[in-house]
Structure 1
Amino acid sequence: MTVASPTSRRIVETREFAGRFEPSAAIEIRARANGHLQSIAFADGDLVQAGQLLFTIDPAPYRAGLDEARARLASAVAQIELADLELKRAEQLISTNAGSQAALDQRRQQQRAAAAARDLAEAAVERAQIELRFTEVRAPFAGRVSNRRLDVGGLVSDGAILTTLVATDPIYFVFDISEQDMLAYQAAAAGGDVPGLSGSAIPVEVQAQRGGDWLAGGVIDFLDNRVEAGAGTIRARARIGNAGGRFTPGQFGRLRLPFSGSYEALLVPETALLTDQNRRIVLAVSDDGTVRAASVELGPRQQDGLRIVRSGIAPEDRIVVGGLLRARPGQRVTARPAEPAQPRAAELGVRSGTGG
């Protein structure tokens, strides 16, 4: 019969949650001008930078409109210059009693009308400049574009969808936390082991649905304001760096959230655990070779096949890890030590799931 002492290891308890990656920003790129599409400055699916030119709508009619507005502004400026001169003459005549008050009032009214016409012409120039800028459609933020909806030469109408754009760095991971998990986390936060769910940047790790390495560096930056009554869950969101484009919006994944501070834990192989009615037990061998059953309180599973034991055994106990089918409490056995396993570097991490 093979026995081994519990493994002592400093760990952080974590729980895993399934969720979906979502873009940190997503918009439809729409035209804000009418005309024929003159050029497309990207390839479908490209990564683009903020401010990068995407589409050009034929600007010729808008340049002509701007030239016309500038000409009207020049005419309005000339009119106000003339009105200013005539007002000064009227003021000089009235000062020498050579002019009438009615003529002075008329010149003042003409000067105000000319000033208003100039302001209107300046506004028309500004509007024409804005409309000309709308012929160049640029990316409002960095991200990945979809395919183009129109080809060069196509007629574009104001409001037409040209493509879509999503921001992929950072990327969001959206997931749901059950009410029980939320209460357990709040209890750990009240004890000072972990930061609070609200108003704190809680570090997390994520991985793609297919598995693989856990990616560190993300933080939970949003927790919804209520638990959904029907599902008994609350929505949370983590912000994840995605400079290499490892994750794609819409992709499923998993998130690992710390539920404790770092502490020294005792662990036994999952295969050493037995069930006795409604309790979990391990078999231990005393110094005289007698097998005894020890009732244990379990914590989360670990990724290397071990299980946290919160109470019920001591570090010096000899736990039966081989030959369990032949062992019975109260019988005497000959115990031999198990061969020590060499844990891989990845197994020294802190991944764990829910207890059971």
Structure 2
Amino acid sequence: MFAGGARAASGAQQSDAERPVPVTAIAAVSDELDRVIDGIGTVAPLQSVTVRPRMGGQVIAIPFTEGETVEKDAVLLKLDDTQLRADLASAEARKAQDEAQVANAKADVERYASLAEKGVASASTLEQKRATNQQLAASIQYDDAVIKNAQTQLGFATVHAPFTGRAGFRQVDVGAIIDANSTNGIVTITQMDPIGVSFVAPGDRFGDIREAMKAGIASVEVSTTDGSRKLATGRLTIMDNAVDAENGSIHLRAQFDNGQERLWPGLPVATRLTVEHRRGVVVPDKALARGPNGLYAYIVQGDGKVARRAVTVAYVTDARALVTKGIEAGEQVVMDGQSRIADGTPVSVTPWSGSPVGELAETSAP
């Protein structure tokens, strides 16, 4: 009876060993996966200027509206230009007077030149007339300079927007006397479209970032800091010329079209910088396990048993791994149940009920 019992127990153990272990599996796919660097940044305008007058005077008009977009060269402020117009008119009148004198002197030169040929006028008198003509001609050049200066000063009485942007709060009112040295200025104009985002990346990634910029693939996606809403996609335009020695990061700036003004200066955003595009075998990162010799995965074979494979991964993005060695497209990779199986274990496969491999990025994006 003892021998019979031992044979029964051995048969039961053998039956348990051959019983398939339930696991879930997903098919590896051939897909393109981006390598990205995640970070946090701040929206920063490419241009922001506090507009100041270039001369002092009394404000007579402020034809812009606070908080609205002003076009380039739009009038922001007008100063009382009565005295400036009078100065310009005086300079123009002086030039007209000098031009009349030059015309008269020129006629004298021509007349005395004719008389000198006939011997009626002396050569010294003719030279004196020519000198007077040249002196009066020089005064015309001086008059032109005075008129140009008066026109310039008159132009300073009207302040224009330096570029298209959104106006902030105005700092002066109609009737106020302002000075060219005022620190507050008239208003701050901020360019909204295009707009920039300033952020940082690990300094040891500068090589990847530089190569991505050279290849033209350094795109940047920004979203709300909680990841709930994508805001815009732009391109990396500037990488700082040095890594910050204090924190080991490198400063970057990207540029975005912002016609709908989803990005606002000072807004904190989450950034995703793409530094590489590569196509290969893609599996969920969850399907990979780490052992003493590196990463491995269990592949479901045609006989219903699993094979343990060493796996090499290029990088992981959004819970998806780009496999360069160890898994082929179309092979079934165990997702759940790795702890209950070993190389050669028979399994009962249940298809993965979660998102397909190609959609994992959308469901697990930060």
TM-score by length of 2: 0.80
Task: Provide Cα deviations, 1:223-253, integer angstroms capped at 9, x if missing partner.
Answer: 4444455554444433211111111223333
* Correspondence 1:201-220 to 2 at 5 A: 201-202=216-217, 204-210=219-225, 211=227, 212-213=229-230, 215-216=232-233, 218-220=234-236
* Structure 1 residue aligned with 2:37: 16
* Correspondence 1:181-196 to 2 at 5 A: 181-184=205-208
CA displacement at 1:203 relative to structure 2: 5.1
- 1:51 paired with 2:89, answer no
> Size of the alignment, in residue pairs?
340
* Structure 1 residue aligned with 2:311: 296
Describe the shift of the 1:351–1:331 C-alpha distance in structure 2 as closer, same or farther (beyond 3 A).
closer
Task: Provide Cα deviations, 1:271-324, integer angstroms capped at 9, x if missing partner.
Answer: 333333473333445555555543323344343x43333323334544332334
* Structure 2 residue aligned with 1:259: 275
Matched-pair contact (CA < 8 Å) for 2:28–2:357: no
* Correspondence 1:18-167 to 2 at 5 A: 18=39, 19-160=41-182, 161-167=185-191
Describe the shift of the 1:122–1:241 C-alpha distance in structure 2 as closer, same or farther (beyond 3 A).
same
Residues in 1 aligned to 2:358 and 2:96: alpha-carbon distance in whole angstroms: 77
- Secondary structure of the equivalent of 1:5? strand
* Structure 1 residue aligned with 2:257: 241
- Secondary structure of the equivalent of 2:159? strand
Describe the shift of the 1:315–1:292 C-alpha distance in structure 2 as closer, same or farther (beyond 3 A).
same
Q: Which has the larger radius of gyration?
A: 2
Residues in 1 aligned to 2:186 and 2:75: alpha-carbon distance in whole angstroms: 13
Alpha-carbon RMSD: 3.1
Residues in 2 aligned to 1:307 and 1:345: alpha-carbon distance in whole angstroms: 11
Q: Look up the equivalent residue of 1:15 and give its one-letter code.
A: V
* Structure 2 residue aligned with 1:3: 24
Query: Structure 2: where are the runs of 5+ without partners?
Result: 1-21
Q: Percent identical across equivalent pairs?
A: 24
- Secondary structure of the equivalent of 1:75? helix
Matched-pair contact (CA < 8 Å) for 2:37–2:275: no
CA displacement at 1:177 relative to structure 2: 4.2
Describe the shift of the 1:342–1:116 C-alpha distance in structure 2 as closer, same or farther (beyond 3 A).
same
- 1:312 paired with 2:329, answer no
Task: Provide Cα deviations, 1:36-61, integer angstroms capped at 9, x if missing partner.
Answer: 01111112222111111111111212
**Structure that is richer in helix per residue:** 2
* Structure 2 residue aligned with 1:271: 286
Q: Which moved more, 1:109-118 or 1:343-352?
A: 343-352
Task: Provide Cα deviations, 1:312-346, integer angstroms capped at 9, x if missing partner.
Answer: 33345443323345x14258454222244455997
Describe the shift of the 1:61–1:146 C-alpha distance in structure 2 as closer, same or farther (beyond 3 A).
same
Matched-pair contact (CA < 8 Å) for 2:29–2:330: no
Describe the shift of the 1:202–1:133 C-alpha distance in structure 2 as closer, same or farther (beyond 3 A).
farther
* Structure 1 residue aligned with 2:199: 175
Describe the shift of the 1:42–1:345 C-alpha distance in structure 2 as closer, same or farther (beyond 3 A).
farther
Query: Structure 1: where are the runs of 5+ without partners?
Result: 190-195
Residues in 2 aligned to 1:68 and 1:81: alpha-carbon distance in whole angstroms: 20
CA displacement at 1:260 relative to structure 2: 3.1
CA displacement at 1:220 relative to structure 2: 2.9
Q: Which moved more, 1:230-239 or 1:10-19?
A: 230-239
* Structure 2 residue aligned with 1:193: none
- 1:329 paired with 2:346, answer no
- Secondary structure of the equivalent of 2:261? coil
Describe the shift of the 1:185–1:45 C-alpha distance in structure 2 as closer, same or farther (beyond 3 A).
closer
* Structure 2 residue aligned with 1:192: none
Residues in 2 aligned to 1:76 and 1:37: alpha-carbon distance in whole angstroms: 35
Q: Look up the equivalent residue of 1:219 and give its one-letter code.
A: R
- Secondary structure of the equivalent of 1:261? strand
